[in-house]
Amino acid sequence: MSLRLYDTAARAVRDFTPLRAGQASVYVCGLTVQGPPHVGHVRAALVFDVLRSWLERGHGLDVTLVRNVTDIDDKILTKAADAGVPWWAWAYTNELACTRAYDVLGVRPPTYEPRATGHVPDMVELVERLVERGHAYAVDGDVYFDVRSFPEYGALTRQRLEDLEAAGDTDTDERKRDPRDFALWKAHKPGEPDTAAWPTPWGRGRPGWHLECSAMAGRYLGPDFDVHGGGLDLRFPHHENEQAQSRAAGDGFARYWLHNGWVTLGGEKMSKSLGNTALVDEVVQRVRPVELRYYLVAPHYRSTIEFTDAALAEAGAAYRRIESFVQRAAERVGAEHGADLPDAFRAAMDDDLGTPAAVAVVHDTVRQGNTALADGDAAATAAVLGPVRAMLAVLGLDPLDPRWAGGGGDRLAEVTDGLVRLALDQRQAARARKDYAAADALRDQLTALGVQVEDTPQGPRWELTR
Ligand SMILES: [Zn+2]
């Protein structure tokens, strides 16, 4: 079965054929580390975490995933100055906050996570190639991309040059050959920290945002690679400019462009400037991280997610139905069952990462599993548990994965289970000596802690209700 992906550049679903047999190379634009991440910020990382997982588990490909960190930028300089700290300290503090958010949501670290400031020589070299080929020019230390020198400019977003507005990244339009020329390199300005400038043949300065990604993609993935991804809002000008720079310099660059939809709040794209954000750190105080992951991964990656507490609660309840089956089934028949992915799940994922249909297959299979459990049919239960866990593993949502086993990992979950079982043994002993008041008191204390106890023919089982 072949994987089909919606390529934004072609505006069509295309068969995915990797450039190199058995391998796939993916570049996804990372965050500009100017503040702690909100839910909208982390969606791209989650979407491309699932794509990577599907390329690996669904198609046996060896995936190289690059997700950069933009650690130099106008906003970082401004905010750091306002806070009275060095720009690089501000950037690093927020980079750590982003890493924490990715970790807590179970996003695997990329193969490489380059920082823009660590790749200035690659960027300078790329600008030199563009100047040599007649696609870039320097004016007083700034270097601009000459959009009229490159007929393909606008191809990614199917826009004609005449229809485009002036590039808004500089306030010195009169020095450009064309107002739509965008900055590759920005000269050091008076008042900016000396540490935020690097020496180049055109004088001291710092990179433009678009240039950073082209240089880092080239460094880690070579001149040609398979997939370039990011949020929908990056299509123009960021991705258009990335493609123009790299192709004008002679590289083939990305063969497929994938863009994920926005997370909105109150109908508007979640954004710091609008003030309608939900920080990841805050949301995971209210809901379990695995439930937030389910909420963000279950909708199709190209759809818009309107963030509401009601929808989040509904997603949490849906996930707990899956989790409850997996836990009860594993208690009954053991956790280890090798399994193939159901064909319907494969077909859904191969159809442009159709997670809504894939998640529906998980729920259908769980319903069969619950029937098998109720019938006490161990063989049928085991036959369902394996595929359910295999499907959930693709989505990063397997409840038995150690990453979801409590804040402190496996060990904490083990100790908690031991302590709850100790309390349950005490309750059993109280009942045996007909001290029902003591038995009920133990149960009430567990309930108060959020531990719900259910008596089953196999003995008491427990789960956390919050
Ligand atoms: Zn980028």
pLDDT at residue 407, as a whole number: 42
All structural domains of the chain? 4-269 (3.40.50.620), 309-405 (1.20.120.640), 411-464 (no CATH)
> What is the distance in A from the centroid of ligand 1 to the CA of 241?
9
Cis bond upstream, residue 36 (ω within 30)? no
Q: What is the pLDDT of residue 304?
A: 98
> Do residues 136 and 128 make contact, with C-beta atoms less than 8 angstroms apart?
no
Give the tokens for residue 146.
């000459």
State the Cα–Cα distance between residues 12 and 333, nearest whole angstrom. Answer: 45
Distance 116 CA to ligand 1 centre (A): 10
The pLDDT score that the predictor gives to residue 409 is 42
Distance in Å, CA 32 to ligand 1 centroid: 10
Angle formed at CA 36 by CA 30 and CA 42, multiple of 5 degrees: 45
- Given a cut of 90, whether residue 332 has pLDDT beyond it is yes
- Is 98 annotated to bind a ligand? Reply is no
pLDDT of residue 413: 62
Alpha carbon of 262 to ligand 1 centroid (Å): 16
pLDDT tens for residues 117-170? 999 999 999 999 999 999 999 999 999 999 999 999 999 999 998 888 888 776
Which pLDDT belongs to residue 460? 78
3-state secondary structure string across the chain: CCCEEEECCCCEEEECCCCCCCEEEEEECCCECCCCCEHHHHHHHHHHHHHHHHHHHCCCCEEEEEECEECCCHHHHHHHHHHCCCHHHHHHHHHHHHHHHHHHCCCCCCCECCEHHHHHHHHHHHHHHHHHCCCEEEECCEEEECHHHCCCCCCCCCCCHHHCCCCCCCCCHHHCCCCCCEEEEEECCCCCCHHHCECCCCCCEEECHHHHHHHHHHHHHCCEEEEEEEEHHHHHHHHHHHHHHHHHCCCCEEEEEEEECCEEECCEECCCCCCCCCEHHHHHHHCCHHHHHHHHHCCCCCCCEECCHHHHHHHHHHHHHHHHHHHHHHHHHCCCCCCCCCHHHHHHHHECCCHHHHHHHHHHHHHHHHHHHHCCCHHHHHHHHHHHHHHHHHHCCCCCCHHHCCCCCHHHHHHHHHHHHHHHHHHHHHHHCCCHHHHHHHHHHHHHCCEEEEEECCEEEEEECC
Predicted confidence at residue 457, as pLDDT, reads 66
38 is in an annotated binding site: no
Q: Give ion ligand 1 contacts, CB < 5 A.
A: 29, 213
Token couple for 462: 């427990």
Asked if pLDDT for residue 201 goes beyond 90, the answer is yes
47-102 pLDDT per residue, tens: 999 999 999 999 999 999 999 999 999 999 999 999 999 999 999 999 999 999 99
How sure is the predictor about 417, in pLDDT bands with cuts at 50, 70 and 90?
confident
Ligand 1 centroid, distance to 347 Cα (angstroms): 31
Give the pLDDT confidence of 6-34 residue by residue, as tens digits.
999 999 999 999 999 999 999 999 999 99
Write the CB contacts of 191 (distance below 8 Å, at least 6 apart in sequence): none
Share above pLDDT 70 across residues of the chain, in percent, rounded to a whole number:
96
C-alpha 289/C-alpha 306 separation (Å) is 18
User: Residue 408: pLDDT above 50?
Assistant: no
Q: Which pTM was predicted?
A: 0.87
Closest CA to 393 of 297, 259, 287: 297
Task: Check the annotation: does 29 bind a ligand.
Answer: yes
- Per-residue exposure over 225-253, b if at least 16 CB sit within 10 Å of its own CB, e if not: bbbbbbbeebbebbbbbbbbbbbbbebeb
Look at 103-112, 155-164, 166-175, 215-224 and tell me which has the smallest mean pLDDT: 166-175
Rounded to the nearest angstrom, the distance between the alpha carbon of 151 and the centre of ligand 1 is: 22
The whole-number average pLDDT for the span 325-342 is 92
pLDDT reported for residue 399? 96
Note the pLDDT tens digit of each residue in 245-294.
999 999 999 999 999 999 999 999 998 778 888 999 999 999 999 999 99
Ligand 1 center–CA 303 separation, angstroms: 21
